[in-house]
Structure 1
Amino acid sequence: MTDPQIAISMLGIFIACVFLGFPIAYTLMAIGIGFGYYAYYDAARMWRSFDRLAEDTPWLESTQLWLEGFYNNRIFDLFINQTYSVISNEVLTAIPLFLFMGYIVERANIVDKLFSTLAVATRNVPGSLGVAALVTCALFATATGIVGAVVTLMGLLALPQMLKMRYDHSFAAGIICAGGTLGILIPPSIMLIVYAASSGVSIVRLYAAALLPGLVLVGLYITYIVVRAVLNPKLAPKPTKEELPEVPFGKMLWMLATSFLPLAVLILSVLGSILFGLATPTEAASIGALGGMVLAVAYRAMTFDRLRESVYLTVRTTAMVCWLFVGSYVFSSVFSYLGGEKVIEEFVTHLDLTPIQFLLLAQLIIFLLGWPLEWSEIIIIFVPIFLPLLPLFGIDPLFFGVLVALNLQTSFLTPPMAMSAYYLKGIAPPEVKLIEIFKGVLPYCGMVVIAMFLMYTFPQIVFMLPDAFYGPQR
C-alpha cells in the first residue's frame, strides 16, 4: 500500500472505532501514534540504541536500551509537543473559565425567577409562556453554553408550567429543545472558541460574526411560536388571570431588575468587553466567572458543595476538550504527513464543484456527522479536514465557521439522534412521549435551514459586525 492509501485506511479505522463506541480522544491518540510510528520510522535512529548492546550487558541495562530504541521515534516527540501546544494555547484558556461561569450560573437559582418574570411580562403575547421559555433558554444557554444543562433545567421549570396551562405536548417540548441549543451559536460560545483554535480564525471576529445570525435564529423561533399560537390557539391557550395573574407596573419593573437584568448585564459585560477590545476572551471569561460567583452570592445560592461541584464539572469537561485536541492534532499531523489531505483535496477538486455546491456538500456531511457525534468531536476532528479546501473555493473560514455553528443546531434536533429530545424525555412527565418531542423539534430544523439560506443569500449578516468593528479582512 502507498502512504496515501494507508492514510485513508487510518481514517476508515477511526470512523469504525467511533461507531463501535470506543472513547474518541483515546482512539485518536492510539491510531495517531500507531500509524505515526510507521510514518516516522527511522531504522538508523532506532538501531543507535541497539548498537550499544553486548552479550555481557546486564539485564536491566539491556531492557533500558531496548526501550530506548523502541521509543526513538519522532511520533513520541510529536505527541509531547502537541500536548504542550494544547496546554499552552491562550485561546483555549477561556474554555474552563466560561464553563465555570456557566455551571455557577446554573446553580444560582436565577433561571426559575427569570422564567417566572418573563412569563408575566409577556402574558398578552400569543404563546406567551412559549416565548418566555424560549427567551429564558436563549439567555441561559448563552450564559452556560451547555445544551444538556439548559434543556434539563428548563424542562424541569418550564415544561410542567406549560403543560399545566394546557399547552400541546409537542409544541411545548419543541420550544425547550430548540431554545436549549442556542448557546453553541450565540456568543460567548465555547464551540466558537474551539473552532477558532482549530482554524486559526480570530475569536473576536468570530464572536462578532456569529452575533447577528444567532439573533436572526432567535427571531425566527419566536416568530414561529407566535404565528403558530395565532393560527391555532389550542396549541398555546392564553393563560387566565387565575393561572397567570397580572402584576402592577412597578412590581413588574422590580421583578425584571432582580431576575432578567443581572444575567443580561453579566452576558453583555462579557461579550461587550470582547467585541469592543476592552479585554481578551480569556480576561472577559475571568470577569464572567467572577460575575457568576457574585450573582450566586447575591441570590444566596453559593455553598461550598455547589462551588466544589462546579469546579469538578469544569475540570472534567475541560479535560475532555483538551484531550480531544491532543488526539486530533496527532491524528491530523500523521494523516497529513502520509498524504491523506492531498488525496481528499484531489478528490474534491476532480468533482468540479462550485463554491455553493462545496458549501452544501460540506454542510450535508457535517449534518450527518451530527447524528453519532458531539459538536466538540465534529469541530476538532472533522472540520479541519475541510479547512484546507476553503481557499480553493474562495470561502472565508469565518463565514464557514458561522455556517457550521448554525448547522450544528440541527445535530441536537434531528431524529433519531436528537440529543436534546432525549435530555428532555429523561425528566419530562410520563404522558409526554418521545415521538411527540420529535414532532415538536422538527419545525425548528426548518428554521435553521431558513437561517442558513439567509446567510447564503445575504453574507453581510455574517460580515457586517466584524467589518464595522475591526475592518474588512477578506
Structure 2
Amino acid sequence: MEFFVEYSWAIAMILALVAGVFTGYPVAFLLCGLGIVFAILSGIPLKFMGTVVSKIYAGTLSNWLLLAAPLFIFMGLMLDKSGLAERLLLTLERLCGRLPGGLALSVALLGIIMAASTGIVGASVMLLGVIALPVMIRQGYDPQFATGVTAACGTLGILIPPSIMLVFMGAILQVSIGGLFKGAFIPGLLLGTVYILYILGVGIFSPHRAPVPDRSEIDKIAQRQGNLLVELLLNLVGPLFLIAAVLGSIMIGLATPTEAAGIGAGGALLLALIARKLSFGVMRDVVRDTSKTTAMVIFVMIGAACFSAVFKRLGGDDMIEELFIGTGFGPYGLLLLMMGLIFVMGFFLEWIEISFIVLPLFAPIVTSLDFGFEATRPEMLIWFAVLAAVNMQTSFITPPFGYSLFYLRGVAPPGVTIKTIYRSSVPFVVLQLICLGALVLVPDIVLWLTRV
C-alpha cells in the first residue's frame, strides 16, 4: 500500500497514457498534454517547466547529430522516386525466378538491399506491395505467405543501417550512432538471412504455397531487359555505391553519421539524375514528405521530453527501478521482463513513442546489471539498444496497429483482406523473436563489429 501511495502520481500518469493511446488522439500531443496537466495537478513549480523547455531546446532541437535523420529520410524518398528498386526487382526475378519460392526470394533480397541503402520502411513496404505482391499472387502464391514476405522484408529498413530508428536511439541513450550502426549491421543481415531460409523452406516443403513461376513471365522480363549479368551489374551499381559511401565511410571512421547522411542524400540525387527521374515536381514531393516525417518525429520527441521530465520528477524512474529490482529476478530475468514489456507495447505504439518513453527508464537498470560478459558501459548500451531495435521491429508487423500491415493494406490487390494480412505476420514475428533470443544469448553478434 505504501508503494501505491508514494508513487500515486506516477502510476496515474501511466494509466492516463494507456487510456489516451486507445482514444486515438495523436501521441505527440497526448504526451505533452499529460506532462503539463500532471505538473499542474501535482503542484510542480512553474520554474521546473521552464527547465523542461530548456532541456528540449538544448537536448533535442540543438542536437546536431539529429541532422542525420532528415537527410536519411530524404535519401530514401529520393531513391524511391528514381525507379531503381523496380528495375532491380525485375532483374532479381529473372535471377531467382526458377528457384522454389523464387519470387519471394527476390523480394527478400531487394528488401535487404533497399534497407541498406534507404532505411525508409513505409516507402519499401508500399513499393514491394505495388510491384511484387500482385506478381506473386498472379503466379499462384498463397496470399497469406506473399503478404507476410512483403510486409516483413519491407520492414528490414528499420534495423539494417542506415536506420532512422538507430539515429534517434543513439541520441536518446547518448551513445555513438556509428557504434549503433556497426552493432546492428550483422543482426540485420542475420534477420534477412533467416527470412531467406524460411522462404526456401516453404518453397521446398510446401511448393503449393510458393510455386515456381511460369517461364513465359520470366521470358517477358528477359526480352525487355536483355543480358542478365549486364542488367544485374547496372542495377546494383547504384545501391552498392550508396551502401559503400554511407555505411563504409562510417565503418572506417572517415565520416560521422551526419556527414555520411549528407553523402547519401547527394548520392540519391545523383542516381535520380542519372535515371532521368529528377524534376521540380519530384524534388517538391520529396522535400515535402521529408519535412512532414521529420516534423512528426520532432513533435513526438518534444512531447516525450515533457512527459518523461514530469514523470521522473514524480518519482517514476525510481518506481520503475524498484518494481524491476523488487521482482527478485536475475539479470537475464529482468532483461526478459523488459523485452516482454517492449514487445507488448509494440502492439499499440510505434517505435518512436516506445523509444522516447521506455529506453531512458530501462537504460540505467541495464547498465547496473552483470550479464556475465565483459563490456564497457557504451557497449552495454549498444547491445541493449540493438535488442530493443529488433524487438521494436516487430511493432511494424504485429496486429492490431502494425504500420507495415496498414501500408500494405493500402496498396494490396483486391481480394487481400486485412484478416489475411494480420495472419501473414505471425511466422515472421516468431522468426524475429528467435533472432532476438540469439542476440541475447550471444552478445558478440552485436558487439564484435563495434570492437573491431
Is the structural similarity TM-score above 0.5?
yes
Rounded to whole Å, the distance in 1 between the matches of 2:328 and 2:292 is 44
Contact residue 184 and residue 191 of structure 1 kept, 8 A: yes
The answer to whether structure 1 residue 413 and structure 2 residue 400 are counterparts is: no
Contact residue 112 and residue 189 of structure 2 kept, 8 A: no
- The Cα of 1:407 is off from its aligned counterpart by 1.1
Of 4, 9, 30, the match for 2:7: 4
Q: Residue 168 of structure 2 aligns with which residue? A: 194
Taking structure 1 as reference, are residues 38 and 83 closer, same or farther at Cα in structure 2, changes over 3 Å only?
Answer: farther
The answer to whether structure 1 residue 309 and structure 2 residue 285 are counterparts is: yes
| TM-score, L = length of structure 2 | 0.92
The answer to whether structure 1 residue 131 and structure 2 residue 136 are counterparts is: no
The answer to whether structure 1 residue 430 and structure 2 residue 414 are counterparts is: yes
Of 86, 90, 94, the match for 2:64: 90
1:311 is matched by which residue type in structure 2? V
Rounded to whole Å, the distance in 2 between the matches of 1:24 and 1:437 is 25
Contact residue 117 and residue 162 of structure 2 kept, 8 A: yes
Q: Residue 424 of structure 2 aligns with which residue? A: 440
Q: Residue 300 of structure 1 aligns with which residue? A: 276
| TM-score, L = length of structure 1 | 0.88
Q: Residue 17 of structure 1 aligns with which residue? A: 20
The answer to whether structure 1 residue 358 and structure 2 residue 344 are counterparts is: no
Report which stretch shifted further, 282-291 or 243-252: 243-252
- The Cα of 1:297 is off from its aligned counterpart by 0.6
- Structure 2 unaligned segments of length 5 or more: list them: 372-379
Of 232, 241, 247, the match for 1:256: 232
Aligned length: 439
Percent identity, please. 39
The answer to whether structure 1 residue 318 and structure 2 residue 294 are counterparts is: yes
Taking structure 1 as reference, are residues 39 and 143 closer, same or farther at Cα in structure 2, changes over 3 Å only?
Answer: farther
Contact residue 3 and residue 338 of structure 1 kept, 8 A: no
Q: Residue 249 of structure 2 aligns with which residue? A: 273
The answer to whether structure 1 residue 106 and structure 2 residue 80 are counterparts is: yes
Rounded to whole Å, the distance in 2 between the matches of 1:387 and 1:116 is 44
The answer to whether structure 1 residue 122 and structure 2 residue 96 are counterparts is: yes
Contact residue 39 and residue 337 of structure 1 kept, 8 A: no
CA RMSD, 1 decimal = 2.1
The answer to whether structure 1 residue 28 and structure 2 residue 39 are counterparts is: no
Q: Residue 57 of structure 1 aligns with which residue? A: none
Taking structure 1 as reference, are residues 440 and 12 closer, same or farther at Cα in structure 2, changes over 3 Å only?
Answer: closer
Contact residue 52 and residue 305 of structure 2 kept, 8 A: no
- The Cα of 1:41 is off from its aligned counterpart by 4.7
Q: Residue 48 of structure 1 aligns with which residue? A: none
- Per-residue displacement from partner, 1:26-65 (whole Å, max 9, x unpaired)? 22222223333566755xxxxxxxxxxxxxxxxxxxxxxx
- Per-residue displacement from partner, 1:281-308 (whole Å, max 9, x unpaired)? 0000000000001011111111111111
- The Cα of 1:138 is off from its aligned counterpart by 2.2
Of 173, 188, 197, the match for 1:214: 188
* Correspondences of 1:396-411 after superposition (within 5 Å): 396-411=380-395
Pair member with larger Rg: 1
Rounded to whole Å, the distance in 2 between the matches of 1:188 and 1:444 is 22
- Structure 1 unaligned segments of length 5 or more: list them: 43-71, 469-474
Contact residue 9 and residue 42 of structure 2 kept, 8 A: no
Contact residue 343 and residue 392 of structure 2 kept, 8 A: yes
- The Cα of 1:457 is off from its aligned counterpart by 2.1
Taking structure 1 as reference, are residues 26 and 438 closer, same or farther at Cα in structure 2, changes over 3 Å only?
Answer: closer
The answer to whether structure 1 residue 226 and structure 2 residue 196 are counterparts is: no
1:332 is matched by which residue type in structure 2? S
2:261 is matched by which residue type in structure 1? A
Rounded to whole Å, the distance in 2 between the matches of 1:293 and 1:108 is 9
Q: Residue 53 of structure 2 aligns with which residue? A: 79
Rounded to whole Å, the distance in 2 between the matches of 1:41 and 1:432 is 52
Contact residue 98 and residue 285 of structure 1 kept, 8 A: yes
- The Cα of 1:258 is off from its aligned counterpart by 2.1
Q: Residue 218 of structure 2 aligns with which residue? A: 244
- Per-residue displacement from partner, 1:5-32 (whole Å, max 9, x unpaired)? 2232223222222222222212222222
Rounded to whole Å, the distance in 2 between the matches of 1:455 and 1:41 is 42
Taking structure 1 as reference, are residues 91 and 139 closer, same or farther at Cα in structure 2, changes over 3 Å only?
Answer: same
